[in-house]
Amino acid sequence: MNLKWIKKIDAYTIIGLIASIGTLVQITWVFFVKDPTLAKENIIAYSTMGLALITVSCLLASESRKASKTLTDISEVKSENETFKRDIASHNQNLESLAKYSHNINHIFRDTVFSIYSSLYEDYTNPEEALAGLSCTFKQFLSKFTTNVKETFDIITNDNSCSVYISSLLTQDTQNGNCNSQTLMAKTFYRDPTSHRERSAIDKQTPIYDINQFTPFKNILDISINCRYFVCDDCSRFSNFKDRTLDWNKFYSACLCVPVRVPIEINNKTIDQTIGFIVVDNKKGGFDQAVAIELLCSYADLLYIAWSIFADAYNSLLDDINDKNE
């Protein structure tokens, strides 16, 4: 029995109730007004029958309302169940996509490392050409790497505006009075292909900048703060947030930054050797969650290995070129 039939029964019950009341009124009028001489037994019988009809009609109306409510509740449960099924299907699809992108990153990493190692043992006759080929291999890795990281965080944050870039850490000699010192500087090493067109102007305008001009870099490298990463879903509310470009909020509102580093021992003391950073930002946030932070940290670990192997191979070929030119 569906809700449509319940409504019909409810309507019939109301009609029956009205008819029963009308019958009782008519009986009362006949016996007490039109013909008071009729036997009392008949009055009682007909009155009892009228009251019984009214009672039955009321009971039917009550049960009809209960059945209607039950069917409404069932309908709502079915609707919630369908919504729940869609949510599960969407969640499973997101998990499959995240697994695919993570596999892509590991696949790219494996192929790149193998290619770089192979180049070290090749008997090349033209080191300049080999150096150009090595640089091309690493750029292809960075392009695929940042693209898959972007796709991953588009899903995690539910925001397709995610931008990914890699910055390298440099040192620059500075002079303060009569003292020479080294200042930590940052340089955008690579941007994902999607955001490169819009943001490359920033990198051209300020190619190298002090780490203190970007709060995430400053905080991560500040030993007194001792933070493993920087995450903020609303940078406008972060106290004294800085970026090298003053109109940074035109491009993003939230960001997650992790260092590309490895702990090393120097004089029986463990320190972090940081060579750069991975930064992901967007407009809507959604970074301040364990899955986002841990995933980006794992990608930074892979990047450190690939970057270090590339740097060793590059410097080795550069030495060969210099030896050849001497």
Burial class (CB in 10 A: 0-12, 13-18, 19+), 63: middle
**Pairwise CA distance, residues 156 & 97, whole Å:** 10
Q: How far apart are the first and last CA of the chain?
A: 96
Question: Tell me, what amino acid is at 292?
Answer: A
**Could you tell me if 106 and 302 are in contact, meaning their C-beta atoms sit under 8 angstroms apart?**
yes
- Residue 86 backbone dihedrals phi, psi, to 5 degrees: -65, -40
**Pairwise CA distance, residues 24 & 32, whole Å:** 12
Residue-wise pLDDT tens digits, 79-118: 676 776 776 766 778 788 889 989 999 999 999 999 988 8
Residue 22 is predicted with a pLDDT of 59
Contacts of 305 (CB under 8 A, 6+ apart): 109, 113
DSSP class of residue 257?
E
Residue-wise pLDDT tens digits, 209-252: 999 999 999 999 998 888 899 999 999 999 899 999 999 999 99
Torsion of the alpha carbons at 292, 201, 161 and 185, rounded to the nearest 10: 10
Residue-wise pLDDT tens digits, 152-179: 999 999 999 999 999 999 987 654 555 5
Residue 86 is predicted with a pLDDT of 72
User: Picking from 114-123, 128-137, 175-184, which range would have the lowest pLDDT averaged per residue?
Assistant: 175-184
Residue-wise pLDDT tens digits, 136-149: 999 999 999 999 99
How far CA 153 is from CA of 57, 64, 284, 295, in Å, comes to 63, 53, 12, 9
Residue-wise pLDDT tens digits, 38-94: 545 555 555 566 566 666 666 666 666 676 677 777 777 776 767 767 767 667 787
